[in-house]
Structure 1
Amino acid sequence: MAFAGTWTIRVAGDNCRWCDHCRPDETDFGIRVFSGQVSDTYFARRAFVRGYVVVVWRGRHVVEPMDLTVGEAGQFHHETMLVARALRDCFRPAKMNYLTMGNSEPHLHTHVTARYPGDPGDGGPLPATEPPLLDEIQWRRDAAAVRALL
């Protein structure tokens, strides 16, 4: 974990990867497939499974969901569930997983991941190692399919 060194500065929002990107359609992380009132969703370039996105809070710099107002939290959750439904409808997974951590990127974001029988986590968590780079053509097709559902 990255709690040492520049952690306090990063929690304050200085040089925040998500704040500094100014909502581009494509980043080194992924393609934006949804822009909501309070979040943007990026379809990841690297993943252990098809159907992995990150829903990123797009208000002021916030690290913890408990720092949102009740209304903001409700809208962020609502937008996360819209995205999850689109992933479910597109990929037909056995289960959806949701993970809000921020241990290495201290900006509120939630990982939404489709899970399948026999995937690399096989009923448990996915590996903590860097996931493989997805096939470019299939990745772009999958992102377009999810975007169309949203």
Structure 2
Amino acid sequence: MPDHARPHLAPSGAWPENFTRHRRGTNCPMCANDFAADDIGWGLLVRRGEVSNSYLWRSGQVRGYAVVIYTGRHVAEPTELDEGGRPRSGATSSPWAAAWRRSTSR
């Protein structure tokens, strides 16, 4: 199994060392995926959209989880999308998402 398909777990309660860099887009493992492929190693394409793709996660601790990845640019969280990108990607803004973004940007 490719290395990118195996999650690197942080100690309980701790963020991985590279979390902040990945969140900013530096060497982001999600952005490194080949979005033209039907199989990106850890997930199988369910739907290819105009600005995002949906995948069925098949590895790690959350097998069977559906993931939607915005393919226009690096976005760590849906509240980072401009108003034009939200409806087209299916992402919505919510108070909990904005609070999560604030809590992880420290």
TM-score w.r.t. the length of structure 1 is 0.44
**Which residue matches 1:16?**
28
Between Structure 1 and Structure 2, the one with more helix by share is: 1
The reply on whether 1:72 has 2:65 as its aligned counterpart is: no
Whole-Å Cα distance in 1 between the matches of residues 86 and 71 of structure 2?
12
**Which residue matches 2:9?**
none
Whole-Å Cα distance in 1 between the matches of residues 19 and 57 of structure 2?
25
The reply on whether 1:29 has 2:42 as its aligned counterpart is: yes
Q: Which runs of 5+ in 2 are unaligned?
A: 1-12, 92-96, 102-106
Q: Which runs of 5+ in 1 are unaligned?
A: 79-99, 104-150
Larger radius of gyration: 1
Structure 1 position 48, deviation (Å) = 7.1
**Cα RMSD between the aligned structures?**
3.3
Greater than 3 Å deviation, 4+ residue runs: 1-4, 46-49
Paired positions, count: 82
Percent identical pairs in the alignment equals 32
**Which residue matches 1:113?**
none
TM-score w.r.t. the length of structure 2 is 0.59
